[in-house]
Structure 1
Amino acid sequence: MLKKALITGSSTGIGKAIALDLASKGFDIAIHYNRSAEAANKASHEAANYGVNSIVLQADITNTDQAESLVKQASEGLGGLSVVVNNVGNYIDRITSEWSVEEWHEIINSNLNATFYVTKAALPHLKAAQGARIVNFACANAQQILARDTNTPYIIAKTGIIIYSKSLAKELITDKITVNVVSPGIAENSFDLEESIPQLPTKRPATLQELAHAAWFFISPESEYITGQILEVSGGWKL
């Protein structure tokens, strides 16, 4: 398996944990950021400590041209591309009737559209890799069509990612590309952590390493037969 990976939003948080986990397994890594250059460079240095090639790339991937450029630079800088992890996605907590038009577009663009733009640009490179992986990030319970008290556009975007991933997974089987979804619940870097912990059956959030492990499950060579699947990392939350 070609070990060349692009992880969006990988300067901090879940994306960084995935990037470092892949670097520890011998993958050359493209660290992507939009605004946090200092954190991205730090993450890249940490990845390089594993003896792999680690590059830092900036892009606003809600812009199609920048998403395409990001993928092109990642493939050129790494010498190919076999893994894409779409981790970027903003979050706003607000009741449904109070969302502004600008906020609606921000959430749909940063979650659903950014995933589409990066994936579409990456497909020619992934097809050339002969055995590639796409891992997209949704959220716990996004596959359930239910009313939401808050964050409605966020859930709409994440449900869209699931449908897009399943559709693409079916189409790309003959290209030996798997497409799967990791759906986190409350993680240790969640902004409303203290309020959320009492709701969790486990009484603790997911660690970033546990989420990285879930991504690796889909990326590993042993998972080449698994595609179009959703793996919730939520500790039993919202079952």
Structure 2
Amino acid sequence: MARAALVTGAARGIGRALALGLAERGFDVAVHYRSSRAEAREVAAAVRRTGRRAVTVSGDLTDPAQARAAVEAAARGLGGLAVVVNNVGDYLFKPIEDVDPEEWRGVLTSNLDTAFFVTQAALPYLLAEGWGRVLFLGYAGAGQLVAKPQITPYFIAKTGVVLYAKALAARLAPHGVTVNVVAPGVAENSVTQPVREIPMGRVARLDELVEAVGYFVSPAADYVTGQVLEVAGGWNV
């Protein structure tokens, strides 16, 4: 029986690529969306064309009740849950002195709180499986105590994700559940693309991010937890 995966924000972009990549690796997939219903249904249809099962689940994951409901719908629709990929998160490129309180809260909540709400709701299902994978989409360089004056709330949120992931990894390791972070730098769909700052001279392809997630959900990574894998071409090293 195929194991089931939930990918948040899977209607487009990186989330879409990850949902399809997991299907190609034999996982049934719950495609989460907030408002992009038509696109989510298209992704689910593409998953089914690989021979895997798919359901769509909706919800504003910044609301803990809706996050729990989305997780429960995914588990109910697929008969359990073994993999959670936390992909949702807003990005803001703006000088820190110009960021208003609503923007500040929005970036932190959409990146950090959603990861907490979704993962906490999913833990009983992962533990019941006796095997599980929690993945977070981070940000290359997050965790370094350096100034990022144009993306301060985003950088803080992604640093929080790393710390949360490591705490979870330590707690869940005895239960067969690994927790890791895939940290993109500048991807082909990124809002800003400072290619000149990247040592390899190009942006990351979405398939390269899929391969990183694919590694962590594979048997090859059974003994790997609490790690951050940067897919960034040397950016922010």
TM superposition score normalised by structure 1: 0.97
Superposed, 1:28-39 pairs within 5 Å as 28-39=28-39
For 2:184, the equivalent position in structure 1 comes to: 184
Partners of 2:134 and 2:179 within 8 A in 1? yes
Give the % identical residues: 44
Please name the residue that 2:214 is paired with: 216
Deviation at 1:54, TM superposition (A): 0.6
Query: Match of 1:137, as an amino acid?
Result: L
Q: Does residue 16 of structure 2 align to residue 9 of structure 1?
A: no
Question: What's 2:223 paired with?
Answer: 225
Determine the C-alpha separation between the residues in 2 that align with 1:165 and 1:65.
22
TM-score, scaled to structure 2: 0.98
Matches within 5 A, 1:59-208: 59-193=59-193, 196-208=194-206
Q: Distance in 1 between matches of 2:148 and 2:97?
A: 11
> SS at 1:19's partner residue?
helix
Matched, 1:45 2:32: no
1:20-63 deviations in Å (ceiling 9; x for gaps): 01111221100001111111111111111011111111110000
Name the CA distance, whole Å, in 2 between partners of 1:200 and 1:114: 29
Runs of 4+ in 1 over 4 A off after TM superposition: none
Task: Provide the secondary structure at the position in 2 that maps to 1:172.
Answer: helix
Q: Which amino acid aligns with 1:101?
A: P
Partner SS, residue 229 of structure 2: strand
Kept in 2: contact 1:62–1:110 (CA 8 A): yes
Find the residue that maps to 2:178 and give its secondary structure: strand
Letter in 2 for 1:222: A
For residues 208 and 137 of structure 1, the distance between their equivalents in structure 2, rounded to whole angstroms, comes to 13
Name the Cα RMSD after superposition: 1.0
Structure 1 gap segments, 5+ residues each: none
